[in-house]
Each structure stands twice: as structure tokens, then as C-alpha cells.
């Protein structure tokens, strides 16, 4: 097994190689505006660091979000392209699950990432491996009574620490493809079904087709 994992659902552009037992190489750069520019060089970098070739990859693991439209689609389109070119399966994992796994927490907690527009993407977890709720997008004030005092990880929890009062500052702030790959490898080894590589947006993109635009093509 050689998994190529990537995630662009958060400001972190992150890529990792995992051989089924350990992470061989990982890259993570935090830049919310350069997902498309940074992703492919990161793939080249982890392959070179691990001393492996792209055609050795047996499966692609992609974080499916939730995340902003533009950044998220960069990773998913790239994953689909690699899968088609290499003729290997492409599996999806909830990006929040990768952050949860990286936390290593054994108690109930929440994961929250920055959804912009003064909102967060978030979900509840029983432990680092077990998610209890479906991912959601909300204004922090609207979920204050659900998350106050509960251990919380992620950039969203840090950004709104007056609401996420149990924020764990020692836990990872941004996504790690290495953690995502570790979780995927464990699930695949256990025979668990992973998600299809379809984006989990949770809301409409900012760009919209005007409702009453003027037709200018000749009849």
C-alpha cells in the first residue's frame, strides 16, 4: 500500500505519503489564497523526500471538507486527475476527521475550522476516531450553549475562543495530510468504507449567476 493523501479544505495546503504503516513524508503550507499554486509542488516534494515514484501510488486519499468552495475543489480535482491518470481508487475523508485524529483526544470534544463569513465548520466527537454528529456550518454565537466548556480543537475554535471556552491550544490548528492518511490506512485495514471523493460544501458558493440577466445573443 502506498497512499497519497492531500487536503485543501482549510488554509493549509497539505500532502503526505503513507505506506500503510507510517507516514513517509509530509508537506504543509498555510496560505488560504495559493492552494492551486502550492499543491502540485508539494506532491513532487513529498515523493522526492520519500524516494518514491508517482506510479507506485496505490490509492489517493482526499479531504472532502467541509471547506470554502474554491480551495476545496483544487484538492478534489487534483485527486480525481491523479486517480484517473494512475488508474487507482480515490477515497474521501471528512477533513474535520483528520483534525480530530491528529488531536489524539480520548474524551468527548469538538472540532471547528474557520468557515469565513463569521461562521465555523464544526462537528462533535466521542474520541479522536469517532464522530458523533454530521458536519455543520454555524455562527459561533448560535452554538455557544453546545460548545462552551467542551474541549475544542482547530482554527475555528481558536478564532472564537470566547465561545469555544474549552479550546485546546496544544492541539493542531490546521489540517495534516499525514493524520488524514493515518486515519485512512487504519479504516482501510479494518475493511471500513470510506467516502466518495465528493465535496462537502454545506453552503452555496459566493459566485452566483444573476437571476435576471439580459440576453445579448441574436435570435
Low-confidence ranges of the chain (pLDDT < 50): 206-207
- Return all residues near 130 (Cβ < 8 A) that are at least 6 apart: none
pLDDT reported for residue 115: 94
Cell of 155: 482554527
Which pLDDT does position 59 carry in this prediction? 98
Identify the pLDDT of residue 192. Answer: 95
Rg of the chain taking only CA atoms, in angstroms: 18
Q: Residue 32: what pLDDT?
A: 83
Q: pLDDT by residue (tens digit) across 118-155?
A: 999 999 999 999 999 999 999 999 999 999 999 999 99
pLDDT of residue 107: 96
pLDDT of residue 204: 55
Residue 72, H or E segment:
helix 69-86
Amino acid at each position: 500500500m502506498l497512499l497519497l493523501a492531500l487536503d485543501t479544505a482549510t488554509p493549509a495546503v497539505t500532502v503526505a505519503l503513507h505506506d500503510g504503516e507510517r507516514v513517509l513524508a509530509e508537506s504543509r503550507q498555510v496560505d488560504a489564497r495559493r492552494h492551486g499554486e502550492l499543491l502540485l509542488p508539494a506532491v513532487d516534494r513529498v515523493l522526492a523526500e520519500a524516494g518514491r515514484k508517482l506510479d507506485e501510488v496505490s490509492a489517493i486519499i482526499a479531504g472532502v471538507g467541509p471547506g470554502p468552495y474554491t480551495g476545496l475543489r483544487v484538492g478534489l480535482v487534483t485527486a480525481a486527475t491523479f486517480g484517473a491518470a494512475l488508474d487507482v481508487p480515490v477515497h474521501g475523508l471528512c477533513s474535520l476527521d483528520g483534525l480530530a485524529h491528529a488531536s489524539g483526544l480520548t474524551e468527548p470534544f469538538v472540532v471547528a475550522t474557520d468557515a469565513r463569513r463569521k461562521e465555523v465548520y464544526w462537528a462533535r466527537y466521542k474520541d479522536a476516531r469517532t464522530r458523533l454528529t454530521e458536519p455543520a456550518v454555524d455562527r459561533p454565537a448560535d452554538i455557544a450553549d453546545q460548545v462552551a466548556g467542551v474541549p475544542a480543537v482547530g482554527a475555528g475554535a481558536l478564532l472564537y475562543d470566547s465561545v469555544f471556552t474549552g479550546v485546546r491550544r496544544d492541539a493542531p490548528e490546521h489540517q495534516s495530510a499525514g493524520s488524514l492518511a493515518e486515519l485512512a490506512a487504519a479504516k482501510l485495514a479494518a475493511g471500513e468504507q470510506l467516502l466518495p471523493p465528493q465535496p462537502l460544501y454545506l453552503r452555496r458558493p459566493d459566485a452566483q449567476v444573476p437571476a435576471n440577466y439580459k440576453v445579448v445573443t441574436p435570435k
